[in-house]
Amino acid sequence: MEIVTFANIKGGIGKTTLSYNFGEYLAFHGNKVLFMDLDQQSSLSRNYKGITEDQKHSVEAIFNIYNFEKVEPKIWHVKKNIDIISGTSRLDKIQSQLVTYSNKYVILYQWLQRHYDDVVAKYDYMIIDCHPDLGIATSNAVVVSDAIFAPVKPEKYSFDSLKEFKDRLSSLKQEVVNIQTGESLIKAKTYFIGNAIRKVDGVSKAFTHMIESEMESAKKNNLDDNLWICKIPEWILFTVTASFSMPLCEMEKIARTLKKDLTQDQQNDMDFMSKRKYFKNQSKAKFEEVNNIFETLKKYA
């Protein structure tokens, strides 16, 4: 199982939207995906209907080590190839109780070790969506990850937060070590994603130039960590995936399905047909561009 974490210390940069759509893309192409929602806002979880507000059996069950009932999280099967361990609004409180716990950064690592057969061996990918911080929960995600994807928008505060994010990751690597060998337990490489880039915006153009320069430099110097790997354009469909609770891959499938191939229920559903018309009016090239971006992410995952 490959474990991918979407993280950064700046909020509002598209972590949840990207993690949701990337995971759905992987599942759409036949991979078994387990989502884990480590954001106390639980935005990722809300994309899936039928998940109850059962906080006791959410990610809380993994991190609430002082609950001696030995509760396990519920793994919700939400659609073909996709399961999820839902988020909890109580994660802040739980993290505050773990501050003095000596093994606070390896709780998820130890849980995965205990659940190798029923979790690790069962899925192709685990996609972890994190709160915009490097708190205890996010740090746990970093420890178990194979890759960390950090979206960055062409905004001053988003870009300024990068140095702090890199510095704090570096400090975490030095702190979380094997006590016998002294080697860091963190093996994940970090990849940066330019997100929501506008073509006509001066700041976006400068941002794009910077990314392209960094990518070229990394290629020349054979770098394999702290890389910029792709540029994602601003696109209205990215912003509506949450409100529609529908990933881009599903929108594309609906747009490309001929009317004669729709079910009678779909044809009689005015809301569905209205959305289908909206999706069909989108550029096919845009869908292809996004698919290529997700293939790039898959390459580094």
What are the DSSP calls for 183-246, one per residue? -BS---EEEEEEEEE-SS-HHHHHHHHHHHHHHHHHHHTT--SSEEEEEEE--HHHHHHHHHT-
Check: CB of residue 237 under 8 Å from CB of residue 248.
yes
Token code pair at residue 156: 């001053």
> Looking at residue 263, what is its pLDDT?
94
Predicted structure pTM score: 0.94
> Looking at residue 6, what is its pLDDT?
98
- Cβ neighbour number for residue 266 with a 10 Å cutoff: 14
> Looking at residue 204, what is its pLDDT?
82
**R_g over Cα of the chain:** 20
> Looking at residue 277, what is its pLDDT?
94
> Looking at residue 1, what is its pLDDT?
97
How many Å apart are CA 288 and CA 248, to the nearest integer?
11
CATH number of the 2-244+292-300 domain = 3.40.50.300
Q: Could you report the average pLDDT of every consecutive run of 10 residues in the chain (301 residues)?
A: 95 92 98 98 91 85 88 95 96 95 96 95 98 96 98 79 90 93 94 86 82 88 88 88 92 94 95 94 93 96 94
Task: Show the beta-strand stretches assigned E in 68-188.
Answer: 76-79, 82-85, 125-130, 147-152
How many Å apart are CA 124 and CA 136, to the nearest integer?
25
> Looking at residue 233, what is its pLDDT?
87
> Looking at residue 196, what is its pLDDT?
87
